[in-house]
Amino acid sequence: MEKWSLMTITVLLALTVRWTVSLGSYSGAGKPPMYGDYEAQRHWQEITYNLPIRQWYFNTSDNDLLYWGLDYPPLTAYHSFVCAYVAKLINPDWIALHTSRGYESQPHKLFMRTTVFVADLLVYIPAVILYCFSLKETSTKKKDKVANLWCSLSVLIKIKNIVSPQTQLKLSFAVTFLSLLPTCIKLTVQPSLRGFKFALVSCALSFFLFSFQVHEKSILLVSVPVCLIINEIPFMATWFLLVSTFSMLPLLLKDGLLLAYAVTTLAFLAACLTSFSILEKTSAEDLQLKPFSLSLKGYVSWFKSFPKMVRSLFLLSVTLMGVLSAMSAAVPPPHRLPDLFPVSVSVISCLHFLLFLVYFNIVILWDSKNSRSQKKIS
């Protein structure tokens, strides 16, 4: 009964936070002709409801792909299709073909936010609950500017002026493939659930950092698997999730979500400090780095001070992100450097992500638990 009470309180708190954040502004509000991501989601409902499936992804007289063309996978399109049916029942004007472009109203905003809320309630939250229960059972048994490499490098080297787009594409593919290859090989040779979760993080981060074209929100595709391992490495997972949110700061400021960003970030940090005691879990064992440390000659001399070093870097990182967030919101940039703050956020976040990629690969490649877990399973 106690665990169900705690789970219920946690879920209700999560839903309350979601709904509170949903009261804020949204991308492209009152900004024609394209408006923003909000309009993209609304337009996809318009397209999927009014056009036959064979026209959803193709340019036609009724489907101008230059105006928020549907570019997400089919599952997303079908979700928009279902939402559109509900929208039609409430107010047909919301999805009227062509004439509904740029539609904005408080009732429609409430509807759009509710579709996300309901989707979380039906799909995401039940999945999280089931995963948390599986962790408990397993434990008992055992007892733009985008913060990827190419965008950041462009500050120093304009790669697009050196090589052709086709060459950039090939280079991006090669680096992405090589960066995720070691993890995939290790998982193939020593398959395990634990290794699979860490591989999800490493591969997703490789794609974000080295892909030819990514959106700043693509870091969320890395954050989701990081949440799966927050119980195993709470310190590094918390740090990563803080940086991932910080990396989207220019986008959040653009959409008027500074207050939501600041409150939810500070609340998350406070929750992790109290619930996981992250600052007390910085030893080599806690960070899953003991096998790696044992493989280094002379590790004893500097690994003794390792927890203190990691905590200092974390505090420096959090302070830097806090200061840059405040400056981005309150201090006008120099006239000669109008993109100073967005570029700084991008570069600093990218450096963090590169270090995280190295860290996750070290944990995976030096993990000795995979083989032992596999023996138990077999």
Hey, is 356 helix, strand or coil?
helix
pLDDT value for 161: 79
Confidence of residue 298 (pLDDT cuts 50, 70, 90): low
What percentage of the chain has pLDDT greater than the value 70?
92
Same domain, 357 and 284: yes
Average pLDDT of 235-245?
Answer: 96
Strand partners, 63: 60
Q: Identify the domain containing residue 364 by its residue range.
A: 147-378
On average, the pLDDT of the chain sits at 88
Is 278 inside a domain boundary?
yes
pLDDT value for 138: 44
For tokens 């659930």, what's the residue?
193
**How many helices and strands, by DSSP H and E, does the chain display?**
18, 0
CB neighbours of residue 114 within 10 Å? 14
Same domain, 37 and 172: no
Same domain, 177 and 317: yes
Look at the chain and report how many structural domains it folds into. Answer: 2
> Per-residue pLDDT tens for 47-98?
999 999 999 999 999 999 999 999 888 999 999 999 999 999 999 999 999 9
For 99, the token pair is 């004439």
Is 7 inside a domain boundary?
no
Q: Is residue 140 scored above 60 in pLDDT?
A: no
What is the spatial distance between Cα 254 and Cα 29, in angstroms, rounded to a whole number? Answer: 10
For 8, the token pair is 């219920």
For 370, the token pair is 């995979």
Hey, is 187 helix, strand or coil?
helix
CB neighbours of residue 364 within 10 Å? 23
Considering 143, 170, 205, which residue would you say is the last residue of a domain?
A: 143
Rounded to 10 deg, the angle between the 37-50 and 74-90 helix axes is 80
Q: Is residue 269 scored above 60 in pLDDT?
A: yes
> Per-residue pLDDT tens for 167-200?
888 999 999 999 999 999 999 999 998 999 999 9
The predicted model scores a pTM of: 0.82
Same domain, 111 and 179: no
Q: Is residue 143 scored above 60 in pLDDT?
A: no
Give the side-chain half-sphere CA count within 13 A for 187.
19
Considering 93, 122, 143, which residue would you say is the last residue of a domain?
A: 143
Quick one: which of 231, 227, 223 has its CA closest to 204? Answer: 223
Confidence of residue 164 (pLDDT cuts 50, 70, 90): confident
What is the spatial distance between Cα 56 and Cα 69, in angstroms, rounded to a whole number? Answer: 8
Is 15 inside a domain boundary?
no
